[in-house]
Amino acid sequence: MARLGVLALQGGYEAHAKVLRALGHEVIEVRTAGALSQISGLVLPGGESTTHLILLERFGLWLALEAFVREERPVLATCCGLILAAREVVSPAQRSFGFLDVRVSRNAWGRQVDSFEAVADGEGRLPLLFIRAPRIESVGPGVEVLETLNGEPVLVRQGRVFGATFHPELSGDLSVHVRVFGDART
């Protein structure tokens, strides 16, 4: 069993915590830099990216998160988390960490009323749930595309950082979390 953290400043962090607990992991809600020293992996959840940016600064988490990722501990960044992890953000442009060498366009799959479910291309048939999701417009040479939808990247990995444009925590499928953090029940 690993002790994993979920950034719990705003947004959909509880759904991720529930999935991680179902996989047998201990979960800490991360709201301080000190909490990062207690965990071996982290989820950057969905939410509203500009609000996350304000709260990351207010709680002094920016530098601590950069240090956490440099230590090559696993990170799963979903939806808003992917926006924060991207090298470049457009529509509109905003500050981001650059953990993943990707360019993303905010809310590019549509507004809240345009939310939809789909299934990833390929044999795995990964269920996808999009809610005001970003689109990955381009990936750098060090980024591995793990899943696509209609040929577009929707799940990527660079080193130990994974980025999803969709919400795997809401799909009922645990495979993305298992891929990143493992299954402590086995």
Q: With cut-offs at 50, 70 and 90, classify the pLDDT of residue 156.
A: very high
Residue 86 confidence (pLDDT): 98
Q: Is the dihedral of CA 171, 100, 96, 4 positive or negative?
A: positive
Pairing of strands 75-78, 41-44: parallel
The verdict on whether 167 is a catalytic residue reads yes
CA end-to-end span of the chain, whole Å? Answer: 10
Q: With cut-offs at 50, 70 and 90, classify the pLDDT of residue 15.
A: very high
Q: Which of 16, 52, 167, 177 is catalytic?
A: 167
In angstroms, the CA 78 to CA 179 distance is: 14
> In DSSP terms, which residues pair with 75 in a beta bridge?
42, 161
- Sketch out the chain's domains with CATH numbers: 3-181 (3.40.50.880)
Q: What is the pLDDT of residues 48-70, one digit of tens each?
A: 898 999 999 999 999 999 999 99
DSSP 83-100: HHHEEEEETTT-----SE
Q: Which of 25, 52, 79, 80 is catalytic?
A: 79
The verdict on whether 169 is a catalytic residue reads yes
Q: Is the pLDDT higher at 133 or at 76?
A: 76
Q: Is the pLDDT higher at 12 or at 108?
A: 12
Instruction: Output the pTM of the full model.
Output: 0.95
Residue 132 confidence (pLDDT): 85
Residue 116 confidence (pLDDT): 76
| 53 exposure class (CB count in 10 Å sphere: 0-12, 13-18, 19+) | middle
3-class secondary structure, 163: strand
Q: Which of 52, 147, 169, 177 is catalytic?
A: 169
Residue 1 confidence (pLDDT): 67
Q: With cut-offs at 50, 70 and 90, classify the pLDDT of residue 2.
A: confident
Cβ atoms of 132 and 109 within 8 Å: the answer is yes
